[in-house]
Amino acid sequence: MSKIVLENIDKFYGTNHVLKGLNLTVDDGEFMTLLGPSGCGKTTTLRVIAGLEKPQNGYIHMDGREVVNAAECFFESPSKRGLNLVFQSYALWPHMTVFDNVAFGLTIKKLPKEEIKLKVHNALERLRIMEYVGRYPSELSGGQQQRVAIARAIVSEPKVLLLDEPLSNLDAKLRIEMRSELKRLHRELGTTVIYVTHDQVEALTMSTRIAIFFDGVLEQVDDPMGVYQNPISLKVADFIGNPRINFIDGKGEVRGDTLIVTSELGTMSFPREDFTEYIPDSGQIGCVLGLRPEQILIQKEAVKDGIPAKVYSGMPAGSETLVQLTVGKESLLAKEIGLAKYEADQEVWLEINSKKINVFDKETGKLIKFAELE
């Protein structure tokens, strides 16, 4: 296992500032996912950690050992960092069998043949591909090739395993299967894993923590439920979640220990214990309420404190039903588990737990009121 600390990392490609003062700590045995849209800097971060790119500023420490000191032009060789990298493209030798591909690095190190055989077979058994040991890459499916690439990466027992969008070339069914495999593998090995993806489902289902990037800036680092239920900004909130979060404009005022927000959902009060560091001490403030679709409970009969709404359209989708609603001038999307039938213009009432609502500062985009975690 290995702890990795990045301090004040700056990376430029010409005049393009790709990483901007990056500070990130990856703890021993963690499954850290670097998540963000294309071009946000996540793959560059992985390559800087691997030693494939040299930052212009900053420091990197692994297990307390300095491996990068840009000010002194010190960059430890990738081969000395105790890590392995799995590429999106598998990068298997086409003329070698599965055994020889997995054994390649061990052979270069000139380990005894019996030790190589034992390690290779152990890696193949972990990935459940022992039956393909004598086949060539061209005889394997995409999912099987990806398993071989991962087996090759773990066979030398690296301190750190780096994965750069390894599932993006697989179909939807295989991606689900491989997510399960990778999560199980991490639990069994205890290796520090740094995983790059633009797929939020991969990040939410596999990670111990998620680091979210936008335009070379690290926006938030938290565990999956923390990122989902309390996104630090409007940008993160809009990026995380499918279907996307509902945003409702509101007017707020901080009065002593209470934030009062008025919107199409009515007037809501939030206590100081739910405030974040970004809320002003007092006065009026433009707000945006963040409400996840699954947090809206639809009732077909009037209920106490229910919010009147109209159905714009109902969209059954097999295991769930999406319902587009109109509340005053606002449009909201609700999600129900299972099949439910709604007619256009049907009158309904909404039950919303205000404790589950995020509140953002409209001007800065920052989260000013936490939602209660489940």
Co-location of 42 and 130 in the same domain: yes
Please state, for a pLDDT cut of 70, what percent of the chain lies above it: 100
* Residue 374 located in a structural domain: no
Alpha helices in 63-215 (DSSP H): 98-108, 113-126, 142-154, 172-189, 200-206
Please say if the pLDDT value at position 367 is more than 80: yes
The pLDDT of residue 45 is: 97
Segment 168-187 shows an average pLDDT of 85
Co-location of 309 and 250 in the same domain: yes
The count of domains in the chain is 2
- CATH number of the domain encompassing residue 304: 2.40.50.140
Co-location of 291 and 179 in the same domain: no
The pLDDT of residue 289 is: 98
Digit-coded pLDDT (tens) for 236-275: 999 999 999 999 999 999 999 999 999 999 999 999 999 9
Q: pLDDT class for 1, splitting at 50, 70, 90?
A: low
CA distance 240 to 211: 12
First-to-last CA distance in the chain? 31
For residue 10, the enclosing domain spans 4-234
CA distance 197 to 45: 12
* Residue 250 located in a structural domain: yes
Co-location of 282 and 262 in the same domain: yes
The pLDDT of residue 168 is: 82
Co-location of 279 and 298 in the same domain: yes
* Residue 338 located in a structural domain: yes
The pLDDT of residue 226 is: 95
Please say if the pLDDT value at position 374 is more than 80: no
Please say if the pLDDT value at position 96 is more than 60: yes
The pLDDT of residue 172 is: 82
pTM: 0.91
The pLDDT of residue 185 is: 87
- CATH number of the domain encompassing residue 159: 3.40.50.300
